[in-house]
């Protein structure tokens, strides 16, 4: 056995990030504190990765001693980064799980606007797939189940927002009506007291 070969590690993923079609960061997570520790270094790395990949037809790139797998959709680029010795199939399974889970959350509208509107859900997906660089899950259905995004459940849509507003409006109307009724009763009581006072004078 080659003594220079790196020891196997559970910490497969070094970083995950999603960029728009201009190379701007929308989401990123770095799991190795020694890998680009500053924000400036991270963004420089992401820019270099984007410049190398955004016009390429491949799914795998090698840059700065890293193995990078990636996938694009409309105006988004998804990246999963591992070490140079990392198994590309493992990284690709993470990428596919991330992409498919995100696609489900975004109702297959995998584009910048929808991503920004559902960023919290996408962060939950990433956290269910990877924890500290360790791959926890690569099955999109399992991931979606854990973050409570099932096929028959909708995120907050315009219709559900309207329903919430309608319910709140009904509640306000009920409260206002109760206040009005109480005010009328109080006014009637005051008049009755005043009338009684007149009778006893």
pLDDT for residue 149: 47
Residue 91 included in any domain: yes
Predicted TM-score (pTM) of this structure: 0.71
194 and 137 in one domain?
no
Q: pLDDT (tens digit, 9 = 90+) per residue, 103-160?
A: 999 989 999 999 999 999 999 999 999 999 999 999 999 999 998 744 445 454 444 4
CA torsion angle for 157, 159, 165, 167 (degrees, to 10)? Answer: -120
186 and 94 in one domain?
no
Strands laid side by side in the 76-83 sheet = 25-30, 13-20, 76-83, 66-73, 60-63
Pairing, β 60-63 against β 130-131:
unpaired
Residue 7 included in any domain: no
Residue 195 included in any domain: yes
165 and 67 in one domain?
no
Domain that holds residue 188: 156-201
Residue 3 included in any domain: no
45 and 24 in one domain?
yes
68 and 140 in one domain?
yes
Residue 5 included in any domain: no
Residue 57 included in any domain: yes
11-19 mean pLDDT: 94
56 and 142 in one domain?
yes
Quick one: pLDDT band at residue 30, thresholds 50, 70, 90?
Answer: very high
63 and 137 in one domain?
yes
The CB density around residue 53, as the number of other CB atoms within 10 Å, is: 22
134 and 105 in one domain?
yes
Q: Based on the structure, what is the number of domains in the chain?
A: 2
Q: pLDDT (tens digit, 9 = 90+) per residue, 67-102?
A: 999 999 999 999 999 998 999 999 999 999 999 999
pLDDT for residue 56: 86
Kindly report the CATH number assigned to the domain that includes residue 73: 3.30.450.60
163 and 120 in one domain?
no
């Amino acid at each position: 056995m080659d003594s220079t070969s790196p020891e196997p590690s559970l910490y497969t993923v070094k970083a995950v990030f999603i960029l728009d079609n201009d190379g701007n960061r929308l989401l990123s997570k770095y799991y190795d504190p020694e890998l680009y520790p500053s924000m400036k270094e991270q963004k420089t790395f992401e820019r270099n990765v984007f410049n190398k990949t955004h016009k390429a037809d491949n799914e795998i790139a090698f840059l700065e001693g890293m193995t990078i797998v990636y996938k694009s959709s409309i105006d988004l680029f998804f990246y999963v980064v591992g070490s140079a010795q990392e198994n590309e199939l493992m990284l690709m399974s993470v990428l596919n799980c991330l992409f498919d889970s995100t696609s489900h959350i975004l109702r297959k509208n995998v584009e910048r606007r929808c991503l920004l509107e559902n960023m919290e859900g996408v962060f939950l997906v990433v956290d269910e797939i990877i924890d500290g660089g360790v791959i926890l899950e690569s099955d999109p259905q399992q991931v979606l189940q854990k973050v409570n995004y099932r096929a028959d459940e909708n995120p907050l849509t315009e219709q559900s927002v309207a329903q919430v507003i309608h319910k709140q409006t009904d509640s306000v109307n009920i409260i206002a009506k109760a206040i009005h009724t109480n005010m009328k009763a109080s006014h009637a009581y005051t008049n009755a007291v005043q009338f009684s006072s007149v009778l006893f004078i």
